[in-house]
Structure 1
Amino acid sequence: MSNELMQALVELEKERGIPKEALIDAIRTALNTAYKKNYGTSQNVSVELNEITGEFQVYGQKRVVEEVKDKFQDILLEEALELDPDAKTDDIINIEITPSNFGRIAAQTAKQVVVQKLREAERSMIFEEFSEREGEVVTGVIQRIESKIVIINLGRTEGLMLPSDQIATERYEVGQRVKGYIYEVKNSSKGPSVFVSRSHPNFLKRLFELEVPEIYEGLVEIKSIAREAGARSKISVHSLDDKIDSVGACVGPRGIRVQNIVTELNGEKIDIIKYSKDPEKFIANALSPSKVVWVAVDEEEKKAQVVVPDYQLSLAIGKEGQNARLAAKLTGWKIDIKSESQMEEEQDQDGESS
């Protein structure tokens, strides 16, 4: 050991923020274990570091006795007085027992501890950095794909995109640049795990915030999102400024803003809905692009009866019920859709039965 070790510890404290004392304590603990492992002693030992020279000394603890019963645990009073003139029977004194070849073991052990502490500090810094970035959109390069999990290089760490976070209609390849939404960061013994999603509703929300200045500035508010990733989404928006058209702001000049988002999502259809406090209006808007004749709501049951023109029924319901399903999710209401002729038939039957 030499002063080089102490200088290295000082530099680590400055550059990486790892306290020098924490490193020294960790090295001491590791060296105690290393000494017992290499020299197989049952004696109580402690390893001390000279913080000026960087040298380590091993001290064994012995009890001062009149008669030695265990040479590893006991020391005669006469010998103890040579080391410490104030020594008395039953005192515990420290005796240097540093082996001649201990320097090599100490150097190797210290190096291992420093490397381990560096890894821990790096992991901690990465965890803190990405924990603060939860809820952000990040861009990375696909590094590899293992068991259907897409691993993305995010610079200082990797992002994991699980199958449930992927868009089913997309194909991912190594080397491809992708955007994703950080929805969770977990810490573990192996380091931080950063979970990234392209299917999360908040990914769509963040894309609108990035693309539409009025949303970013808080002039237009996103009230709710209903998404079936890769197929279709509905997003309801509300303007906090009467002079701003919330839907128009999101669509953008010649539709450029929403088109940029559709392109990022590889063609996912997006319906931008004007929010209303009036549930009847909101539900009618949510069923866009279908036209609605009228809406009747049951506030207690949170149910809505909707009537649409006959030729709009299939559009209102959507392929495999998708439009109606997304509208219900967007508004939080159970929606029952009927055509005008279906409604007339029901009314006629009710009239006959009465």
Structure 2
Amino acid sequence: MDSKEFLDALNLVAKEKGIDKEVVFEAIEASLVSACKKNFGTSQNIKVVIDRESGNVACYAQKTVASPVEDPQLEISLEMARVLNPNYVVGDVVDLEVTPKDFGRISAQTAKQVVVQKFREAEREILFNQYITKEREVVTAIVQRKERRNVIVQMGKIDAILSANEQIPGEQYNFMDRIKVYVLEVKQTTKGPQIFVSRTHPELVKRLFEQEVPEVHDGTVEIKSIAREAGSRTKIAVYSKNENVDALGACVGQNGYRVNVIVSELGGEKIDVINWSEDPKEFIAAALSPSKVLEVALNEAEQSAKIVVPDHQLSLAIGKEGQNARLSAKLTGWRIDIKSETQARETNFLAEDPVTEEAAEETTAEETVDEAVEEAAEEDVTATEETAEGEAEA
């Protein structure tokens, strides 16, 4: 390939790939400097110039005008410099052409390698720019294969990684299954973009509601908070400033159609949609749904709440293994302690406790839930877990 053919090919491909030709020329020149130094030694200052119009390549040794000359490899005498150009003075840099005889062949090979490398880098950059915009969004991916505990899914032109800790517990991923995933991160690597996705992130549920519920998508209905235990249950609090819009009804849909589409996408994961309220008592009572709440006492200093529920609904309020109470605490941001009506009456539960600040700080939502679970068992509550689940599904 001669210089003109090379330039024509470079122009065509650079246009198709959207690469700046000057970047390619500079990269080729930098690579040819190394090739040139092999002929003249690495101690010399070498410069390679490609004519942008003709494609011809020239190699120059750069020497500084000096008097006297101390290093002949890097310096040239003032007398010799002025033979080339009488205007040179000490300190000027003189370019002496030292192009090897077979430099055309070397430059052609180098140019080809550099161009291929630059095109690959450009393609990686284009892909990265294309997928970085999908970060924190939900996309449809196709299951390709399993690598150890990870699942590799295809997102358009490239694969993404669904790591073990981002997979829904118990969910099966079969070849060519189409699944919705939340894009956690898009990283640029030497091999191209690397994408990490999730099926367990709470934002996945939020994005699915945005896709399925027009009122959420356009902002009429706002999702205030989400608490999720992937594969089991999610609680989501919704609110609308428009008094004429039923936020809960919009998200659930007619006969539960909208929420059921999302439940199906998440493999049957139960979703409780509740109305958000700026009144903490109302919000906490709603969060404990499907259990009824008789009374809520707040300790705002400790961000904790004491809840009283009917005797037959204690197990329902706490949930299987404390899940309902635990999710309610995450959703509302309040520590929750639950007692049945009888327990509350016998222990004077709602009376203010002389609890020290240190003890209050050590108390967590999980601890209060565990206490309630133990007390429920001691009181031999008749509402079994099966009954509780049945009410929840109803």
TM-score higher than 0.5? yes
1:256-275 equivalences in 2 (<5 Å): 256-275=257-276
Unaligned runs of 5+ in 2: 352-394
* Same amino acid, percent of matched pairs: 53
For the structure 1 residues 153 and 77, does the alpha-carbon distance in structure 2 shift closer, same or farther, using more than 3 Å as the test? same
Which residue number corresponds to residue 200 of structure 1?
201
SS at match of 2:173: coil
For the structure 1 residues 107 and 296, does the alpha-carbon distance in structure 2 shift closer, same or farther, using more than 3 Å as the test? same
Which residue number corresponds to residue 187 of structure 1?
188
* Aligned partners of 1:77 and 1:87 also within 8 Å: no
For the structure 1 residues 336 and 283, does the alpha-carbon distance in structure 2 shift closer, same or farther, using more than 3 Å as the test? same
Unaligned runs of 5+ in 1: none
Which residue number corresponds to residue 320 of structure 2?
319
Which residue number corresponds to residue 244 of structure 1?
245
1:15-54 equivalences in 2 (<5 Å): 15-37=16-38, 40=41, 42-54=43-55
SS at match of 1:45: strand
The alpha carbon displacement at 1:43 in A equals 3.4
In 1, the alpha carbon distance for the partners of 2:217 and 2:198 equals: 21
SS at match of 1:110: helix
Q: Could you give the per-residue CA deviations for residues 70-109 of structure 1, whole angstroms, max 9, x where no partner exists?
A: 8866779998777x36377977543332222222221121
For the structure 1 residues 298 and 76, does the alpha-carbon distance in structure 2 shift closer, same or farther, using more than 3 Å as the test? closer
* Aligned partners of 1:135 and 1:181 also within 8 Å: yes
SS at match of 1:192: strand
In 2, the alpha carbon distance for the partners of 1:128 and 1:332 equals: 37
* Aligned partners of 2:179 and 2:265 also within 8 Å: no
How many residue pairs match? The answer is 348
The alpha carbon displacement at 1:220 in A equals 0.9
Letter matched to residue 236 of structure 1: A
Letter matched to residue 150 of structure 2: I
For the structure 1 residues 72 and 139, does the alpha-carbon distance in structure 2 shift closer, same or farther, using more than 3 Å as the test? same
After superposition, the CA RMSD in angstroms is 2.7
In 2, the alpha carbon distance for the partners of 1:264 and 1:276 equals: 28
In 1, the alpha carbon distance for the partners of 2:94 and 2:196 equals: 55
The alpha carbon displacement at 1:192 in A equals 2.6
SS at match of 1:25: helix
Does 1:2 find its partner at 2:34? no
Moved more, 264-273 or 177-186: 177-186
For the structure 1 residues 2 and 244, does the alpha-carbon distance in structure 2 shift closer, same or farther, using more than 3 Å as the test? same
Does 1:287 find its partner at 2:288? yes
Which residue number corresponds to residue 223 of structure 2?
222
The alpha carbon displacement at 1:307 in A equals 0.8
Does 1:86 find its partner at 2:86? yes
Q: Could you give the per-residue CA deviations for residues 140-187 of structure 1, whole angstroms, max 9, x where no partner exists?
A: 222332231222221233222222211112122333222101122223
* Aligned partners of 1:66 and 1:89 also within 8 Å: no
Letter matched to residue 265 of structure 1: L
In 1, the alpha carbon distance for the partners of 2:276 and 2:37 equals: 72
1:92-171 equivalences in 2 (<5 Å): 93-171=94-172
For the structure 1 residues 85 and 171, does the alpha-carbon distance in structure 2 shift closer, same or farther, using more than 3 Å as the test? same
SS at match of 1:105: helix
The alpha carbon displacement at 1:303 in A equals 0.9
For the structure 1 residues 226 and 34, does the alpha-carbon distance in structure 2 shift closer, same or farther, using more than 3 Å as the test? same
In 2, the alpha carbon distance for the partners of 1:347 and 1:208 equals: 43
Letter matched to residue 11 of structure 2: V
* Aligned partners of 1:62 and 1:94 also within 8 Å: yes
